[in-house]
């Protein structure tokens, strides 16, 4: 089956036509994508005998432009200092990260994703990478630029929200 724009749909179901600005349609698809990514994350966590929060920490460490401190990770994840310490302890024991004191101030700890641990993540998440490549292939470069701009803007907006804000 194909969608209104003649692109194949998943499972043969037809996609409902909705105005581009339909907020509900965006919400539904963003929740679906979040659910699917959570499903993958939980599976990886279970395969590595980790907590899903540990995988969120790994993603934050991997995606950070510079080595994170435990405090920056705490802020990013919205956890207590004790919870971050426990998370980092689990990740270090499992061989996913290492902590290093590299600055003149020996109190400052930086967290690094271990290169050897990347193989397990790469192997597990390869189907996600392949699915992303297949989905990307269905769009032009111009469309992908717009999608990336939207995702970036959405993440910026979400980053400004606090749990108490409604």
Per-residue pLDDT tens digits for 79-121? 999 999 999 999 999 999 999 987 777 788 999 999 888 888 8
d(CA 145, CA 166): 30
Cα distances from 162 to residues 22, 61, 76, 159, 165, in angstroms, run 24, 21, 11, 8, 5
151 vs 108, 111, 138, 142, 165, CA distance in Å? 33, 27, 17, 14, 21
pLDDT of residue 92: 95
CA distance 125 to 119: 10
CA–CA distances in Å: residue 81 to residues 8, 74, 87, 103:
47, 6, 10, 21
Give how far Cα 164 sits from Cα of 47, 72, 115, 160, 161, Å. Answer: 33, 20, 37, 12, 8
Q: What is the pLDDT of residues 32-82, one digit of tens each?
A: 999 999 999 999 999 999 999 999 999 999 999 999 999 999 999 999 999
pTM, to two decimals: 0.75
CA 40, CA 79: separation in Å to the nearest integer?
22
Each residue's pLDDT tens digit, 110-128 = 999 998 888 888 999 999 9
**Pick from 154, 145, 131, 114: nearest CA to 23:** 154
Average pLDDT, the chain: 86
């Amino acid at each position: 089956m194909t969608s209104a724009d003649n692109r194949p749909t998943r499972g043969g179901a037809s996609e409902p036509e909705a105005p581009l600005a339909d907020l509900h349609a965006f919400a539904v698809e963003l929740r679906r994508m979040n659910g699917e990514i959570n499903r993958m994350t939980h599976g990886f966590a279970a395969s590595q005998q980790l907590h899903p929060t540990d995988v969120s920490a790994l993603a934050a460490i991997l995606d950070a432009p510079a080595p994170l401190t435990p405090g920056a990770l705490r802020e990013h994840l919205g956890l207590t200092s004790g919870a971050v310490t426990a998370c980092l302890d689990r990740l270090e024991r499992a061989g996913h990260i290492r902590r290093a004191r590299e600055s003149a101030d020996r109190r400052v700890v930086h967290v690094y994703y271990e290169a050897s641990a990347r193989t397990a993540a790469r192997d597990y998440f390869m189907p996600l990478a392949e699915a992303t490549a297949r989905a990307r292939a269905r769009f032009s470069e111009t469309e992908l630029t717009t999608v990336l701009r939207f995702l970036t803007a959405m993440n910026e907006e979400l980053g400004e929200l606090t749990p108490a804000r409604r």
